[in-house]
Every structure is written in C-alpha cells, then in structure tokens.
Amino acid sequence: MNVPALEATGLGAAYRKKPVLDGIDLAVHRGELTVLIGPNGSGKTTLLKTLGGLLPQSSGEIRLDGRKLNEYSRRERAARLAYLFQESGVPWSFTVEEYIAQGRFFRQGWFGGENAADKQAVRHAIEAAGLDGFVRRPVNEHSGGEYQRVLIARAVAQEAPCLLLDEPAANLDLGYRYRIMELLVSLAKEQGRAVLASLHELGLARLYADKIIVLCKGRIAARGSPEQTLTDGVLKTVFELPEAVRVEFLTRG
C-alpha cells in the first residue's frame, strides 16, 4: 500500500474564529509535485500552514507518513517536513550561508555543531538556488527575489522528505521562476520527495504539476492532472476569467 507522505481528511481551520477551510481531503505522495491553486482568499496559505502544524485545525485529521501530525515532537516533525512561507524579512545580519544552514539546526541540537553532511547539504542547496555569488552577503541586504531564493535553499537544505511551499516562484524574474520549478520537479522525481506548492501562475502549474488541487472559498473545487483541472469551467467559475482570456489560455497548449 502506498501510504501518502502527507494526508488530510475532513480538515477544517479557522482564522480569528472565522472559518477558512472546510472538509479538505487530500493526499501528497513521494515522487510527485502537487500544486495548489486558487483565487486570492481561497485559503491556500491557511491550508499549507495547517498542514505544517503552524495553525491549529478545527476539525479533521492530518497524518505525516501514516502517523498523526500532533504525535510528532517538533524535532521529529522537522526531520520529515520542511516548509517555506512568505516572510517579510530577517532582523539580523546573517550571511546567506549562515541563514541557509539554519535549516540543518534540528539535526544538530544546541551544541551539536556542523558536520560534513550538513556542509554538503548547504552547499547543494546554495548551488540549486543559484546563490553561489551571495554566500557571504548579509541576508537583509538582498532584494525580494534573492531573498526568496534564500528561503527556498533553506528548505531544500533541511532534506526533509516532504516540502510545503507557499508561492515559491513569487518575486522571481522569469528565468529564476523556471529554474525554481525545475528544482521542485527534481526534488520530487530524482530524490523522491513529496512536494506541495501553491502557485499564483496557472501557466506554471500546467507546465510542471503532476497533480493540481483547486481551492475555492475554503473547499476543494477540483483535483487531478492539469488537463482534468485547468478546464474552461474551472477558469470561469473559480477564477472568473472572461471568455477571451480562457480561450487564450486553453489554446496556448
């Protein structure tokens, strides 16, 4: 039996006592890039934070590798689950290399120190995110796009088998958007990780996703392959796109 890396059943969540998610059922498997899409306010970030254990669930169940999420200690969870969420900035002048290395902290403890495996993981993450020329520069001196790549590299360096990423292509120029998406595909296909990422751009979702989950008003409106989910009906009812835009998107190939 192929146990999902991450699974939710009947999941509900609220923000400031206002219901945001209702009856969410999903499964994220190793070796697949699953993309979460939906209009602004549909609950994408809330869903990712709830799946990552950063927000409490109001109903339902979350399982990580077949075990209830709340049964893991924080250190155990960090070994299995990495997440990237939008951050406004870093208040301290860590270098890029130091900040990415923090993704390895759970493996070291307070006094463990950095070993050869940690250094190799950090080096790989730096190269994968295209940050070779920035390792000594303070993180808080970077542009929004560069900082986004640092956050992605920190999540990659963690080497968790399951990744949750909130808008990983945000703030990146065209070249790096595609480079980051290729990296996520590689993490799933070549390293066997389970990757769940929210995206704003439907074109990127169609091009790279194995599976797509469409979220609308806190519920799943569609799920399946890009061909099954990015249909005229979904584009019209969920995203409220005009006919001319829908035709252009669907005929672009």
User: Among residues 34, 1, 152, which one has the least CA distance to residue 82?
Assistant: 152
pLDDT band at 78; cut points 50, 70, 90? confident
Whether pLDDT at 114 is above 80: no
Whether pLDDT at 18 is above 60: yes
Write out the residue range of the structural domain in which residue 60 sits. Answer: 6-89+158-251
Kindly report the CATH number assigned to the domain that includes residue 72.
3.40.50.300
Mean pLDDT of 100-105: 86
List alpha helices for the chain, DSSP H.
Answer: 44-51, 74-80, 96-101, 105-108, 116-128, 144-157, 174-189, 202-208, 226-229, 232-237, 243-251
Whether pLDDT at 82 is above 90: yes
In a domain, 187, yes or no: yes
Whether pLDDT at 34 is above 60: yes
Mean pLDDT of 154-170: 92
Range among 16-30, 83-97, 114-128, 135-149 with highest mean pLDDT value: 16-30
In a domain, 232, yes or no: yes
pTM: 0.90
Chain centre distance of CA 13: 18
State how many domains the chain has: 1
In a domain, 126, yes or no: no
Compute the distance between CA of residue 186 and CA of residue 2 in angstroms, rounded to an integer: 21
Task: Count Cβ atoms below 10 Å from residue 8 Cβ, excluding itself.
Answer: 23
In a domain, 15, yes or no: yes
In a domain, 32, yes or no: yes
In a domain, 17, yes or no: yes
Over residues 213-251, the pLDDT tens digits come to: 999 999 999 999 999 999 999 999 999 999 999 999 999
In a domain, 96, yes or no: no
In a domain, 95, yes or no: no
